[in-house]
Amino acid sequence: MQETSEGLVYGSSTAPNDSRVCPYCQKSFYLPKDLVRHVRTHTGEKPFTCTLCVYAASRKNHLKKHCAKEHLMSSDEFERIAKRLFGHLVS
């Protein structure tokens, strides 16, 4: 079996749940959070917004890198803010 970076396992005898299939391209995922992240590539949704500028990202780790580079924010500062703002979102 070979696992892709998206969480899809090729050669598996167990098929993924239909509820974890992308409605845009029919790609399958074993973890629901991976499907949520993938669907954003189709919709263009960017729920992670910088509170210091107009930057927005589809993934929390991309916003974290932005904040570190552009605003010289430490990882601890970012996590403190992100937990308050984005705690309900899947990264």
17-71 pLDDT, tens digit each: 678 999 999 999 999 999 999 999 999 999 999 999 999 999 999 999 999 999 9
Report how far residue 47's alpha carbon sits from residue 90's, in angstroms, rounded to the nearest whole number. Answer: 10
**What's the pLDDT score for residue 84?**
84
**What's the pLDDT score for residue 1?**
38
**What DSSP state is assigned to residue 20?**
G
Inter-helix orientation angle 75-86/60-70, to 10°: 140
**pTM here?**
0.69
Judged against a pLDDT cut of 90, whether residue 8 lies above it is answered with no
More confident residue, 50 or 12: 50
